[in-house]
Amino acid sequence: MAGDFGTRFLSKMAISYYDNGWSKEQMVPSDSLTLHPGAHVFHYASTCFEGLKAFRQADGSIAIFRMDKNLARFAQSSSLLYLPEIDIEHTARMISDSVAMYSSEVPDSPASLYIRPTHIGTEAAIGKAAAPSDTSCQFILLSPVGDYFEGGEANLRLLLDTEGVRCGPDHGMVKGGGNYASALKHIQRAAKQYNANQVLFCPDDDVQETGAANFVLIDDDEIITKSLDDSFLHGVTRESLLTLARAKGLNVQERNLSVQELLERAAKPGCEAGLTGTAAVVAAVGTLIHNGKEYPVGGGQPGPRIREMRNELNAIQWGQAPDPHQWLTHL
C-alpha cells in the first residue's frame, strides 16, 4: 500500500462549530486545531468521518463522486454517536466550496482529491462517560492522492479471523475512529504472524468485512457479499459496484457466506476476491489464510473481473464514460 497516501494536505480547511446551532463556516489553516484537553473526543471517542473524492473530468471540470450518499452516512454516524445533528446542506456547501477554492489542485487521472469530512465532540467534560457532547466541530480536510497501491495492482493476503471482531456488532454502521482503533490489534498481529495485509473478520463463521474495507467474492457470473446489517459498514463503493454489476446482468447475492463456502469457491480456477473502498476502489485478494494454512484465490494472481470492475467505476468518476445513475456532483 502507498505509505504516503493521505499525508499531504492542502493549506486550508473549512471548519464550523456547533453550540446550540452551527456557526458559519470559515477557512482556516489545516495544520492545527485548538481543543481543550478535556474535550469529549479525546476521552470517549466521539468522532466520525467520511471519505470521498473529487475527480478532474475529461473536459477539465471538477466533479465529486456520490457526495449525497457519503453525507447521508456522515449524518447517520453522527446520530449513532449522539453528536449534534449534522446540517447536510451546510456540510455539502462546506465541501463544494472547499473543492472549488482548490480546483486547480485537483490532479488529473489517475489521481484525485481525497475529501475527509470529520465531526468531533468538543465539550470539555470528562465526567460525561455516559453522556454525549453538547458541542462539536466539523472540518473538511483535502488531500491530493495518487494510486493507493504502489507498483501496480494489489494482490492482498487476508487472514480469516473467526474469533475476533472489528467492533461491537451493533456499532458497525458507524464510520468512526473507535471502530478502526479496535480492529488495529488484530491487523497488526496478522501482519506480524502471517505477513497478512488485512484481517477478514468472520465471527460465528460469518464472512463480514476487513478492518477498512468491504469484501466481495466473484465466481463465474455470481458476486457474493454480506447482506447489510448493523454489524459492518455500508460502503458507498460497494453499493456502486453492485449497482453496475446488476446493470450488466450479473447475479449479485447479498447474503451470509461461511468460511467453508468461501474457501471451496476460492479454490476454483477463475474465482476472484476483492476489497472495496474509496481509496483503492476494488483491490484484488490473492491469498486467504486460515488455521495456519494458505489458500490461493483462483490462480493466486489478480484476475480480469476485478480489473474490469475498477476500470468501469473509474471511467465514470473521471468523466470518461456516461454517468447513468447521476452519481457525480459537478462544480
For residue 255, count CB atoms less than 10 angstroms from its CB and return exposed for 0-12, middle for 13-18, buried for 19 or more: exposed
pLDDT of residue 150: 63
* DSSP string for residues in 294-331: EEESTTSS--HHHHHHHHHHHHHHTTSS--TT--EEE-
Mean pLDDT of 62-88: 98
Q: How far apart are CA 5 and CA 150, in angstroms?
A: 10
CA 296 to chain centre: 25
238, containing H or E segment: helix 236-247
DSSP letter at 23 equals P
pLDDT of residue 280: 86
**Beta-sheet pairing, 136-145 with 112-121:** antiparallel
Q: Where are the domains of the chain?
A: 12-145, 156-317
71: cell is: 453525507
Q: How far apart are CA 104 and CA 21, in angstroms?
A: 33
The residue written with cell numbers 458507498 in the block is: 236
Q: How far apart are CA 234 and CA 73, in angstroms?
A: 8
Task: Choose which CATH entry (3.30.470.10, 3.30.565.10, 3.10.20.90, 3.40.50.150) describes domain 12-145.
Answer: 3.30.470.10
Q: Which long-range contacts (CB under 8 A, 24 or more apart) does 209-212 make?
A: 209/166, 209/172, 209/233, 210/158, 210/166, 210/275, 211/166, 211/180, 211/183, 211/184, 211/186, 211/187, 212/180, 212/183, 212/277
Q: Would the pLDDT of 314 be above 70?
A: yes
How many residues appear in the chain? 331
Q: How far apart are the first and last CA of the chain?
A: 31
Encode pLDDT of 117-173 as tens digits: 999 999 999 999 999 999 999 999 999 998 777 656 789 999 999 998 898 888 889
Encode pLDDT of 192-207 as tens digits: 999 999 999 999 999 9
Q: How far apart are CA 331 and CA 65, in angstroms?
A: 11
Between residues 262 and 2, the one the model is more confident about: 262
Q: How far apart are CA 121 and CA 131, in angstroms?
A: 11
pLDDT of residue 105: 96
Are 300 and 158 a contacting pair, CB within 8 Å?
A: no
Q: How far apart are CA 58 and CA 145, in angstroms?
A: 18
pTM, rounded to two decimals? 0.95
CATH for 156-317? 3.20.10.10
Q: Across all residues in the chain, what is the average pLDDT?
A: 94
DSSP letter at 103 equals G
Q: How far apart are CA 63 and CA 55, in angstroms?
A: 5
Mean pLDDT of 189-194: 96
